[in-house]
């Protein structure tokens, strides 16, 4: 069981918006940056968001991130079938001195 809690699955129709939450604690999300990763089937993860809300070069602005207190969220707008993937949040835990990922959320675009 992950220290960072994500919903196991979310779904929405093409063109719609979806929000994936990531809940942590005061020793991880509460004081450290959150990053988000997309893992398409059969491939390695890919960085989508870093420092809570910044996008690496090449990531479309349909993907956005936010953080408030001990929770973070990834929002995907204008959903496309190609967005079907597993999404993971990640951060550092300053009490445990370890990195960590959420359990992952499977996005289905209906």
Partner 1 sequence: QVQLVESGGGLVKPGGSLRLSCAASGFSFGDYYMTWVRQAPGKGLEWLSYISSGGDNTHYAASVKGRFTVSRDNAENSLYLQMNSLRVEDTALYYCARECDIGDCVDQWGRGTLVTVSS
Cα angle value 76/29/23 (rounded, 5°):
60
Residue written as token pair 């953080």? 67
User: Which of these segments, 14-22, 32-40, 60-68, 75-83, binds partner 1 (CB under 8 A)?
Assistant: 32-40
Which residue from 91, 105, 90 is spatially nearest to 39, judged by alpha carbons? 105
Size of the site for partner 1 (CB under 8 A): 27
**Least Å distance between CB 15 and partner 1?**
28
Among 47, 69, 78, 110, interactor with partner 1 by CB under 8 A = 47
**Least Å distance between CB 87 and partner 1?**
10
Among 32, 38, 64, 71, interactor with partner 1 by CB under 8 A = 32
Q: Token pair for residue 99?
A: 């990195």
Which residue from 103, 110, 26, 99 is spatially nearest to 69, judged by alpha carbons? 26
Residue written as token pair 């093409």? 14
Which residue from 80, 86, 24, 83 is spatially nearest to 52, judged by alpha carbons? 24
The residue among 17 and 51 lying less far from partner 1, judged by its C-beta, is: 51
Per-residue contact string for residues 50-89; x = within reach of partner 1 by CB under 8 A = xx----x-----------------------------x-x-
């Amino acid at each position: 069981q992950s220290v960072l809690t994500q919903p196991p699955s979310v779904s929405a129709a093409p063109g719609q918006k979806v929000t994936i939450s990531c809940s942590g604690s005061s020793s991880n999300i509460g004081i450290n940056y959150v990053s988000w990763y997309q893992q398409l089937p059969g491939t390695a993860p890919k960085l989508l968001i870093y420092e809570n809300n910044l996008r690496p070069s090449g990531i479309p602005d349909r993907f956005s991130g936010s953080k408030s207190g001990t929770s973070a969220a990834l929002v995907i707008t204008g959903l496309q079938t190609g967005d079907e993937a597993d999404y993971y949040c990640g951060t550092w835990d300053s009490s445990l001195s370890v990195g960590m990922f959420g359990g992952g959320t499977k996005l289905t675009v209906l």
